[in-house]
Amino acid sequence: MAQIKFFQITRLMKKITKQTYIDWYSNMLFWRKFEDKLAAVYIQQKVRGFLHLYNGQEAILAGSLHAMELGKDRMITAYRNHVQPIGMGVDPKHVMAELYGKATGTSSGLGGSMHIFSKEFKFHGGHGIVGGQIPLGAGMAFGDKYNNTGGVTLCYMGDGAVRQGSLHETLNLATLWKLPVVFVVENNGYAMGTSLARTASHEEIWKLGLGYEMPCGPVDGMDPVAVAEAMDKAIKLARDGGGPSFLEMKTYRYRGHSMSDAQQYRTKNEVEEYKKIDPITQVKDIILDKKYAKQSDLDAIEADVKERVAECEKFAETSPYPDKSVMYDAVYEQTDYPFIKHKLS
């Protein structure tokens, strides 16, 4: 973290306590099992389309949430976006229902896997266009600065998205206008199925921030403590008017880019090596080593997680599909818009 320079940040980070570790274990395990359940029902064709899972990257979300001011700060990301809104407060039953395409989903079943949204909890997607969320994140930060809300936008992207020109346009304006935004690259090593080494002249993505003279640096994305510490500094800098930061979270995904990914670009041994530093296992080991909880306590958490995921599945299974007329409801703000008569009407 020596490369990251944050100026005039004196406020201490919220303490990481025994309860923090227990909450991290419970939350990350729930996110992991939630995604595992989606993989299972996808194979049964209950969830259709594309499905991008977050397994292995949970420490980034856990650490980020620790540093955020929920209710004030915003989050926007790409299409690997099922568990982030859950962490921010969205009912997971409605997230799963959205993936099922049900009326009880977060977008009435119209968004699906890649477009989870919650205006109430300030989670703004869920974007299927690679890099499409980056300028939007800066735009939301501009809005918060203009309206003096004190909010900070956390804008996440994958390692493949940093090859998009929109990133550089956005970094330039964000720095020029000192926007309250933190850009986070979740570098899991592969842009879809292509390694970073094959798409870039250098493999240290964080150095892109140097060209815009913004605080930047690498972070261990498998360790929620390291993530929390880096995000805390970056968020405080943005909130105090110091402008954006650019962080590269080095992480790894255990599943394919999507469910259709045959993963022929990597070996099973490589995946197993990264599982040795699994973020959930790391947190569990600390809990047991420091005697924050007994194994029986963790077993009880695991049983509760299993039950909660089953409840989400049951809710999604039994929820109705949306009426066909719903597809017109979110098109225009004007309620009496003079639609051309359609055969479904």
Cα separations in angstroms, 41 against 300, 313, 316: 25, 9, 11
Q: How far apart are CA 235 and CA 3, in angstroms?
A: 17
The amino acid present at 172, given as its one-letter code, is N
CATH code where residue 100 lies: 3.40.50.970
pLDDT band, residue 9 (cuts 50/70/90): low
- Note whether residue 280 is domain-resident: yes
Q: How far apart are CA 49 and CA 94, in angstroms?
A: 18
Which element (helix H / strand E) includes 33? helix 18-43
The predicted model scores a pTM of 0.91
Q: Is the pLDDT of residue 345 over 70?
A: no
Residue 123: what pLDDT? 98
- Note whether residue 337 is domain-resident: no
Give the model confidence (pLDDT) of 251-278 as tens digits: 999 988 888 777 888 889 988 998 999 9
Q: What would the two tokens of residue 192 be?
A: 């879809």
Q: How far apart are CA 299 and CA 283, in angstroms?
A: 14
Residue 2: what pLDDT? 39
- Note whether residue 259 is domain-resident: yes
Mean pLDDT of 15-25: 98
- Note whether residue 341 is domain-resident: no
The amino acid present at 311, given as its one-letter code, is E
pLDDT band, residue 3 (cuts 50/70/90): low
- Note whether residue 177 is domain-resident: yes
In whole numbers, what is the pLDDT of the chain averaged over residues? Answer: 92
Q: How far apart are CA 103 and CA 125, in angstroms?
A: 18
Among 102-111, 190-199, 243-252, 264-273, the range scoring the smallest mean pLDDT is 190-199
Q: How far apart are CA 51 and CA 93, in angstroms?
A: 17
- The answer to whether 46 touches 99, Cβ cutoff 8 Å, is no
Mean pLDDT of 128-144: 96
Give the model confidence (pLDDT) of 55-93 as tens digits: 999 999 999 999 999 999 999 999 999 999 999 999 999
Structural domains of the chain, count: 1
- Note whether residue 96 is domain-resident: yes
- Note whether residue 7 is domain-resident: no
Domain assignment of residue 265, given as a range = 18-328
- Note whether residue 333 is domain-resident: no
Q: What does the DSSP assignment read for 55-85?
A: TT-HHHHHHHHHHS-BTTBEEE--S--SHHH
